[in-house]
Every structure is written in structure tokens, then in C-alpha cells.
Chains A and B, each alone.
Chain A
Amino acid sequence: MSKRSRLLTAIGAVLLAALYFVPLWSIQLFAPQYPEGLGMSIRLTTVVGNRPNDLNTINQLNHYIGMKAIEPEGIPELRYFPLVVAALIALGLGAALVGKRGVVIAWLGGLAAFGAAGLVDFWRWSYDYGHNLDFEHAVIKVPGMTYQPPIIGTKQLLNFTASSWPAAGAYIALAAFALGVVALVVQSEAIPPVIPRSAATRDLHSPARGVIA
């Protein structure tokens, strides 16, 4: 691979390190009682309120509908996903180092698989929170109502308007992926066309050339 492609791959890999520091996904909740909004961010290692106590408040409000408390300690993915990202950074850097097209493709595949797994996992947890309700202790029971927030988009959940959007981390991961793709494309363009030398020579002498001239 060209120097430029390897550099792009390396930048992509290093970019992934940002995932440890910025939120991946963000959920915003607005209600007449909360015009200023409540929010929580899904990070690689934890789930936090957007402001101090937002998560606590969300949990407290959710008791009315019998939803389980959101406890980051109880989500094992938050412990092993950081390791996956570490592995992806290592793989990306490795791909840049060895400069093999196949390794870059493997890295991109890993990245895509991780992204997909993350979204599926997010959906699975939000499904569990939204459907697995403790009706015995719930104060508000609306028949047929579930409280799963959308993965992307906005949904009305009783008095709350819940919006879920990718946050900086998701965009950074996407950018890293894009850099990898660009690295492959740039590398393809850098390869000179495979044309037999004889054919080229012959070309020079073809009568057609004279026509062009």
C-alpha cells in the first residue's frame, strides 16, 4: 500500500482512541415538567446523565412506570467493549504498519461488526428496559404501552418526548471507517495500469496514431 494509504489507516485507528473520551449516543427527554430537558449519554465505559443527577432523576421518574433502574455497573458490555476498541486500534495500527490491503479490509470489517453489535446491543437493552416492567409495583400502568426509546429519532412516551441521536463518538467511529475506505480507494488508484510493454510499443507505431496526430 502507498504511504498515503497507510497514513490514512493510521489516522483512522488513532481516531478511535477518542471513543474513550466522548459520548457515543445521546438520549434527550423533554416533558412539560422538564422544559430544560433531561438527558443521558451512552459512553464506551458507562452511561451518564448529561448533567449531574440527570440519570438519578430519570431512574426516579421511571419508577412510576415500573422500569428497572439504569445501572451502568449492571451492563457487562460496558466492561468488554473498551477492550474491543483497544483491539480495533491495535489492528488498525497494525494494518498501517504492514501495509497489506487485506489487513485494512479486516480492520474495516471488525469496525463495522463492532458498530453493528453496539447498535444491536443498545436496542436489546432499551427493549429490555422498555418492555420488562414491574407491573406489580408500577404506579402508572397503561395497557399495551411500552417505553423503549428509539435508536434514532423521536418518540412520545407518555408526557416525555424521547429523542435518540448518535453523539460525537459515533461520528468519530464513522470517520475512522471512512478513512479506512478512502485508504483502500486511494491505494487502488495509485497502482499503475497493467498494460503489456509490447502493446504499448506497438501502439506508438500504429497507423491510428498518425490519424490522431
Chain B
Amino acid sequence: MKPSLKKLLPTAIAVVGIGALLFACRTTNPGVKTAVTNDAAQKVFVAPGQYDEYYAFLSGGFSGQIAVYGIPSGRLLKVIPVFSQNPENAWGYSEETKPMLQTSHGFVPWDDSHHPELSQTDGMPNGKWIFINANNTPRIARVDLTRFETDEIIEIPNAAGGHAAPFTTPDGRFVVSATRFSVPIPNTDVAISDYKKSFRGTISFVKADVPGKMEVAFQILMPGYDYDLGHAGKGPSDGWFFFTSYNSEQAYTKLEANASQNDKDYVAAVNWKRAEECVAAGKAKTTPSSYKHNFIDENSRIATSETKTSVAMLDPRDCDGLVYFLPTPKSPHGVDVDPTGQYIVAGGKLATVIPVHSFAKLQKAINDKEFESTIDGIPVLKYNAILAGEVKNPGLGPLHTEFDGKGYAYTSMFISSEVVKWKLGTWEIVDRIPTYYSIGHLMIPGGDTKRPWGKYLIAMNKITKDRYLPTGPELAQAAQLIDISGEKMKLLLDFPTIGEPHYAQALPASMIKDKQVKFYSLAQNSNPYKIMKEAEGGINRAGKRVDVKMLAIRSHFAPDNIEGVQLGDTVYFHVTNVEQDWDILHGFAVLGNNNSELIVAPGETRTIKWVPTRVGVFPFYCTDFCSALHQEMQGYIRVSPAGTSVPLIAKLSDKALTQTGRLEKTMPTKHGHE
């Protein structure tokens, strides 16, 4: 029988109806709706022209740099090039800065920067510098906070993966670096399967309180585990340093499973004042090691790379009471000391509790010799003898803890993607807030110091799916600003960041905002290629090397017509920005340069190398929009065939000469200007 349309229609409607109903009932993610309180916009709104309350320094993770944000607005203020070449301003390309990226492996143009650390005095940030680690080729950099520039980089020898770095001692004398990867020491050709026999870890103490004089004061030879993070003791625990380790199984393959076997790994408690005593008593062995120390001279602003050839290595077996192991559940990651210095909080990535060790109990256990075993001369203390308490059921994947100075601790939970607030002493959980998504570190300004500024918390998230407009396969990572001034945590803002915002530090803007350098003193500039007057500029040939000394001023270069360069020459442009005025930077770029452009700060001399690849006339111009006549700030350089008779010429138009002539008269020539 042939069913009529009339009969079928109600059935069809019913089927479609049920389908629509099922479609509507589909499970939706309950977590995506963000609860933002009504006053959130007001709390993060910094009116145009107004300043933020805090500077926050977020590491760029795999970008190798540091990004500076204003808090609470989340506005990006600056990206400071540290370990990665930055063609934008010639960091690592200019002749002056290339030595900064030298390592014992040669020139390493990138790295993976994880942990910024503000320099401290008496357990509080002093606003002088910020340190940051290179995770790949172990290094520590020092960034000056009056210039927001990297000034010094030291390589860490006998190490691989400088992850537990560069945490500072409260007195600011040392920053530390512990190896993520254990390696053969000295690193030679051994079978990987010889791991247990040959591979060791090191913990380095780097003297860091004198600019330009960073040095590896000593290293402590440790069992072949992976060392993850560290924090110094303070107050009663001052003089101690705590490092997490994992892979006490000493696996060298499929660590994912093989390093997750033991119920507990260790927090290493290092008595660094004892270490200094042992080093002073000659108990460290001078160990040949080759590593680089790179630093920028204050006046010439030229980097020097020097090679160091040895390091003092201390074996815990030779120095009683140097290191103790604190058993800690399940591959601990973060280790954080509360503001009073009494409690040491460890975040066991796979643990179901957050264990808190007591420094007082730790000392008692050492005195009472409550050891369960000894590993390579390191006593292992009994877990129950040192435990202050455990935070029960905190969530999944506890990683890092910071403090608000009001008796509360905040721990990030990677797997359950949340921040958990709990009370020190009672270990009870008082609040939790979701993060979007998969939080790694969290940061409270001063949250790792003696007196935190406990107003904001920044969660740094690895995954941002569905949080922003999508941008292809790779999405921005993000930071989330949470108000912790009240009893309940409140989400205020989230903002995307450069690279991976791995960890951060922050301080009140008032500590550094008025100390900013506005320009470099031309009079103090001791770069040998500096020129103050056009008459000093020009061109010089030495074999196949051609040096052009050039002046940049609003709005021209001098010289701006250059001839006599031959194919096969290597040309060095030494550009001095003779401006002595804030925010008047000049750029310099020449067509087809395989190198980079230059950005030259006022009063500074910068050098860029150019190897012409063909005969012709090539323009150069200013790349930093400097003035109304920025587009006129240009010139030409002529490249002739090799062996040509074209004479070396570097000249400037009469009009420009007149301008410079008048300015030379008023240019400051002595140290103190007017």
C-alpha cells in the first residue's frame, strides 16, 4: 500500500521533534560559564593615562624572554629580550650584544625561560634586578630594573636543564640552580644504561649581588635524580634551601611510568650556610669545567663573554650536615616556604594530599637522628617526624603554593584546573576557584617573600581553548587575575600572554617607576665607535673590513651617502644616537641585510654587520618612527664590484650639515651636562 502524505506527515513531524529534543538535551560543559562578579570591570579598569598598581614580570616560557604587564589591567608594557635573539631590536644580532648569548656550546640563539625572581634584601624585593633561568642550556640572567635590559648571563656548568632556578636567598647574596636532568659528571661518552653508576645531579649557588660579577660560588654533587624547584628558607629557616626532586627511581627511559613508581620522592634540605663553611674550610674540590660568563659594560654598553675553567664542587660526604632528604609523596614539583619560614609546602604532582613539613620538627629530627636511611652521604629523615600536617583532598595535581601574608596559602591544581585556598596551621580548605585551564604556577605579588602584598593572585594557565577568539592550531596561553582581598576568591580578568607564562614575580610600581633611566649619557658612552659630531663620522677600510661611523639625529643620518664599498667586503655600521631626550630612539636598516635591523637608544652606539651580496645602490633608513620627518631619515650606500677604483666616500648634504653644526655647539660635552 502506498502511504499517503497526509498519514506520514504527523509521523515525520514527531521524528523530527524527538530528534530536536535530543539535540537540545546534549550534554554541555558546565565549566565554561565564568562567574565574574559585578564589580570586576571596575577593579581592573585603569583609565587611559593612569598607571597600574603593580609591575608583573611573566616569563615567556619557550619564548625565552620576559614580558612585563601592568596589574590589574593586564596591559602588556614590554617584552624584555633575554635568552632569545630579537631581530626587532638587534638583541643577539648587534656586535655589542652577540657575546651575551655565548655558551660553552657556542652561540645559542634561544632558550626556554621559566622562573623570574626579583632580587631581595632581607627577604623582600629590593627593586634592583630580576633574574631568570634558561632551562635548556642552563644559564641565569640578570635584568636591570632601571633599564629593563638584560645585563648579565652566567652559564651553569655540570648541569643539564636549569629548571630549579634562579631562586634567591633572602639576603640576595645567592641565586641557585639545580639540574633537572642528571648527567655524567664530567660529561663524557658513557652508556645511557650506566645511569645509576655515572649520572649525578648538581645544585649550584651563584653569587649574584654584584652586577657584572656573577659567579658560581660552589656546586653540591647530588644523587642522580631530577631536581625540579627550590625555595630558600627565611626567618627561623634562613640559611636553608629546599629543593624538590623526582625520579628517585633513577629511570632513564619512559620516565612517565618508570619515575612514578616510588610512593615518595624527596625534598632536599640544603644547609647553605654550612656549605659556605665547608667551602671556606677547603672541603670543596676544584673541578675543571668550562662555562661562560657574559656581561655588559655600563659605559660602552658592549658585552664581553669570558670563559671560566673551574668550579668548587662539594660532596655531601665531605661536609657533615650539608643535605638532608625529606620524604615527600609522589614526584613533588613545587616547594614553597611560608612567610614566617616555619612551613615547607610541597606539591606532589600525583599526590592526593598537600604535605607540609615543619622546620622546627625538621631540626628536632636531625638532632634526634630520626633517619630512615642514608643515600650518598645524605640522611633521609622519617616522614612522620617532620610532617606538620597534610591538606586533605585538595584536588588533583597540586603544583605550587604562594601565600597572602594573612595566614592563608593558595595552591595551584593542574589536573583539576583550580586554585585552592587553605589555612596554614589547620590545613583546612576554605575556598576554591576554577582556572581556565590547567594552571601551572600561580603568583601573588611578594607571595614568596616575608611580607606578601596579598591583594591579587595571578594564575598562569597552559590551555585557553574557548577563552578567546581561536587562532588556528596554536592558541595563546593566558594569565588570570584573581582578587584575594576578601574571604572568597573572585575572578577579575584574564589576558593572553606571550609564549608560556610559566612563572611570574610582581612588585608595587612605586618601587621602580621613578628610577627609570630615560636615556644614556652620550658623554659617558665609551663605545670606541661613538661619534658626537658629524666631523668624527666617516668610512674606513682595513682589508675587506669597512667600518662606517654614523650619527643619528632627528631626522637624518650622517653620513647618508656612502660609496667605495666593494662586493666581498664586510661592512660594520656603527650608529650613535646623539639624542639626549627620552623615548627618542632611532632605527637603522639596510636593504637585504641577512642580519637584523638596529634600534639605538639615545646616547647609545650600536653596531650591525652587513655583507652585501650584490653590486648596486642600497637604501638605508630609520625604522623607529622618530619624528615628523622620519620618512626622510634615509640614505644610500653604493656597492661596487671587487677591485673597483671608486674612492671611499661618506658625506652628508649641506642642509643637514647646517643643522648638525648648530647642534654640536650645544651638545653636552662633559659628564654632568648643564
Contact = CB atoms under 8 A, between A and B. Distances in A.
Given A57-B581, A60-B553, A137 B666 contact: no
A137 B655 contact: yes
B554 A60 contact: yes
Interface string A42-81: 0000001100110111011001100011110000000000
B668 interface: yes
Given A52-B580, A53-B580, A139-B629, A60 B668 contact: no
B580 A137 contact: no
Interface string B635-674: 0000000000000000000010011001101111000111
A48 B674 contact: yes
Interface string A127-147: 000000010010110000000
B665 A56 contact: no
A212 B554 CA distance: 87
Interface in A99-151: 134, 137, 139-140
A112 to B, nearest CB: 31
A63 B659 contact: yes
B666 A55 contact: yes
B215 to A, nearest CB: 35
Contacts of B663: 56, 59-60, 63, 69
Nearest to B655: A137
Given A48-B674, A49-B674, A56 B667 contact: yes
Contacts of A52: 580, 668, 672-674
Contact of B666 (A64, A69, A140): A69
Contact of A55 (B554, B579, B658, B674): B674
A177 B581 CA distance: 40
Nearest to B553: A60
Given A52-B580, A57-B581, A60-B553, A71 B658 contact: no
Nearest to A48: B674
A68 B661 CA distance: 11
B665 A69 contact: yes
Interface string B209-237: 00000000000000000000000000000
A53 B673 contact: yes
Contacts of A140: 628
A36 B49 CA distance: 13
Interface string B45-56: 000000000000
Nearest to B663: A60
Nearest to A74: B665
What is the size category of the interface that chain B forms with chain A?
20 to 34
Contacts of A59: 662-663, 666
Interface centre among A49, A56, A63, A139 (most CB of B within 10 A): A56
Contacts of A55: 666, 674
A53 B662 contact: no
What is the size category of the interface that chain A forms with chain B?
20 to 34
A48 B581 CA distance: 15
Interface centre among B519, B581, B655, B674 (most CB of A within 10 A): B674
Contacts of B554: 60
Contacts of A48: 674
Contact of B668 (A56, A69, A70): A56
A137 B581 contact: no
Nearest to A58: B666
A56 B580 contact: yes
A36 B581 CA distance: 12
A63 B667 CA distance: 14
Nearest to B673: A52
Contacts of B668: 52-53, 56
Contacts of B674: 48-49, 52-53, 55
A137 B629 CA distance: 14
B629 A69 contact: no
Interface in B494-522: 519
Nearest to B662: A69
Contacts of B581: 53, 56-57, 60
Contacts of A69: 662-663, 665-666
A72 to B, nearest CB: 9
Interface string B551-569: 0011000000000000000
B661 to A, nearest CB: 10
Given A60-B581, A71-B665, A137 B659 contact: yes
A63 B556 CA distance: 13
Contacts of B655: 137
A56 B658 contact: no
Contacts of B580: 52-53, 56-57
A49 B667 CA distance: 12
A70 to B, nearest CB: 8
Contacts of A64: 628-629
A52 B629 CA distance: 25
Contacts of B582: 36
Nearest to B555: A139
Interface centre among B553, B581, B628, B672 (most CB of A within 10 A): B581
A70 B663 CA distance: 10
B658 A137 contact: yes
B554 to A, nearest CB: 7
Interface in B565-608: 579-582
Contacts of B673: 52-53, 56
Contacts of A134: 658
Nearest to A70: B666
Given A49-B674, A52-B580, A53-B581, A63 B662 contact: yes
Contacts of A49: 674
Nearest to B580: A53
A48 B668 CA distance: 12
A49 B655 CA distance: 27
Given A52-B674, A60-B553, A71 B666 contact: yes
B659 A56 contact: no
A212 B442 CA distance: 96
Nearest to B554: A60
A36 B667 CA distance: 21
Contacts of A57: 580-581
A41 to B, nearest CB: 10
Interface in B282-339: none
A125 B91 CA distance: 47
Contacts of B553: 60
B205 to A, nearest CB: 41
A13 B367 CA distance: 80
B564 to A, nearest CB: 28
Contacts of A137: 655, 658-659
Contacts of A139: 629
B434 to A, nearest CB: 42
Nearest to B657: A137
B645 to A, nearest CB: 35
B352 to A, nearest CB: 56
Nearest to B519: A53
Contacts of A36: 582
Given A53-B674, A70-B666, 14 more contacts: A48-B674, A52-B672, A52-B674, A57-B580, A59-B662, A60-B581, A63-B659, A63-B662, A63-B663, A71-B666, A134-B658, A137-B655, A137-B658, A137-B659
5 contacts: A36-B582, A59-B663, A59-B666, A60-B554, A134-B658
Sorted nearest first, the 7 A-B pairs with minimum C-beta distance are A52-B673, A53-B580, A57-B581, A69-B662, A48-B674, A59-B666, A137-B658
